[in-house]
Amino acid sequence: MPNKPPITFDVVAREGEARAGLLTTRRGEIETPVFMPVGTAGTVKGIRFEALETELDARIILGNTYHLWLRPGIDVIKRCGGLHRFIGWQRPLLTDSGGFQVWSLGDLRKISEEGTEFRSHLDGSLQFLSPEVSMQVQAVLGSDIVMAFDECAEGNASPDVARASMELTARWAQRSRVEFDRLQANGADTGRTDKNENLSGDQALFGIVQGASHVELRSESLARTTDVGFDGYAIGGLSVGEEKSVMWQVVDAVAPEMPSDKPRYLMGVGTPEDLLKAVSRGIDMFDCVLPTRNGRTGQAFTSRGKVNVKNAQWAVDTKPLDETCECSVCRRHSRAYLRHLHQSGEMLAGMLLTHHNLAFFLDTMRGVRQSIRSGEFTKFRQAFTEKLNEGEQQNALIDA
Ligand SMILES: [Zn+2]
């Protein structure tokens, strides 16, 4: 192990289990709790990097190993100098391991001890992903935070199936660690930077807790993952179709037991209410496709609940999407105009809604961080939830 760590994490304020922290990476500082916009194929769909950097001030975005590995492929990215240079984004990047995407292929995949064989969703070609391959791909991508290669069980997996999957994930975590360390020592990481003298300049590696809906398996998974030793820890395999109550049982049981001096990441979650609830359980990092994906289908997240711009209700409504939002979309455009764009199939509709949705998620997290720092998170969450519920009730009346 190098003397200097690849990242540092300091908790600067607490309120109950909720914590505000500072995550320092080789490419800059990230205040937590943080929401990471998802940039699947090297793009956060529908928004330019300038807007992410300046107006929205997103400090970190996520890239998908599976997608980038299949297209454009690691040869292209390597020859273009790594993912940061290839896409033109110099702030921190986190890449997932590909495990989740392969899992979501369903019957197209075959799992063995060695790894997962599957057919590419692009051309049907036979591919093989393993802990070693995933670490090699993520080294070429040069992301600042790398995720260990895991196996995700179905949300409703039986105890036996969930145990086998969790144990495989534990063995793959160890193999990920070994291969990752070998690659760092060999200089395979294209994203290396030595600007911060307190950091090693290496990539950071996060481990993932699995075990489906079974709390005792989750606890065992956490113990085995922390035994391997990672720079941060994630809860994976949630928000995959299980009941919400099951997800919270797992988060309630696992989050407080995760190492308190390392960042805690809840993968693939969630709605704004989910984010606040998870923060109250001690989670620091989130990613979710909701703001971007729903933006493309005409749904806006607002402080008064979801607004569907398709509704005829908004045809001549000159108000912004969210009267309390200060984003450039809400300052300039009306619901009526956004509805018109959406109904006309204009690409600007998806772009503007994506921009507002990301602004809303990132502003909400900014408010969360400030409120934890000032000891007013509980109050903030209560006011946020009340306003949201009141708005949702009014929207329901309109829809009816
Ligand atoms: Zn807005």
363: which residues sit within 8 A by CB, 6+ positions away?
Answer: 325, 326, 327
Give the active site residue among 144, 287, 322, 363. Answer: 287
pLDDT at 362 over 70: yes
Q: Is 96 a catalytic residue?
A: yes
Instruction: Tell how far the Cα of 327 is from the centroid of ligand 1, in angstroms.
Output: 4
Lowest mean pLDDT among 36-40, 228-232, 242-246, 258-262: 242-246
Q: What integer is the mean pLDDT of 237-261? A: 94
Predicted local confidence at residue 108, as pLDDT = 82
Instruction: Tell how far the Cα of 283 is from the centroid of ligand 1, in angstroms.
Output: 26
Q: pTM score > 0.75 for this model?
A: yes
Instruction: Tell how far the Cα of 24 is from the centroid of ligand 1, in angstroms.
Output: 29
Residue 231 DSSP symbol: S
Give the active site residue among 96, 144, 202, 231. Answer: 96
**Pick from 151, 165, 199: nearest CA to 29:** 199
Instruction: Tell how far the Cα of 299 is from the centroid of ligand 1, in angstroms.
Output: 12
Instruction: Tell how far the Cα of 312 is from the centroid of ligand 1, in angstroms.
Output: 20
pLDDT in tens, 184-237: 999 999 999 988 889 999 999 999 999 999 999 999 999 999 999 999 999 999
pLDDT in tens, 88-106: 999 999 999 998 888 888 8
Alpha helices in the chain (DSSP H): 49-53, 65-70, 74-79, 83-87, 99-103, 131-141, 159-185, 215-228, 244-254, 272-280, 290-296, 328-332, 335-343, 347-373, 377-399
- Other Cβ atoms less than 10 A from the Cβ of 361: the count is 24
